[in-house]
Amino acid sequence: MALTTIDGAACAKCKFFDTEASGESLGLCRYNPPIGQANGDAAGVWPKVEASDWCGHFEPANA
């Protein structure tokens, strides 16, 4: 059973969702800064999310 939200909020419709680096069904969430890596030599990474995911930070992309 898929979870749904009011007005169909989903990462794919959020202004913080970036598909340029990952494709159409996966994307990067640009709401928070990149997450640091355990070995201090690697650069931080943006969280990967599914286009159908959603969270409490949703803002429509056209806003």
Instruction: Look at residues 32, 31, 8, 28 and name the one whose alpha carbon lies nearest to residue 18.
Output: 28
Say if 60 falls within a structural domain: no
pLDDT higher at 5 or 31: 31
pTM over 0.75: no
Domains identified in the chain, total number: 1
Q: How confident is the model at residue 2 (pLDDT cuts 50, 70, 90)?
A: low
8-42 exposure pattern, b = at least 16 Cβ within 10 A, e = fewer = ebbbbbbebbeeeeeeeeebbbebeeeeeeeeeee
**pLDDT tens digits for 13-53?**
999 999 876 567 899 999 998 988 777 777 888 888 999 99
Mean pLDDT score, 2-7: 62
User: What's residue 59's pLDDT?
Assistant: 92
Range of the domain at 47: 1-55
63 lies in some domain: no
Q: Domain for residue 61, yes or no?
A: no
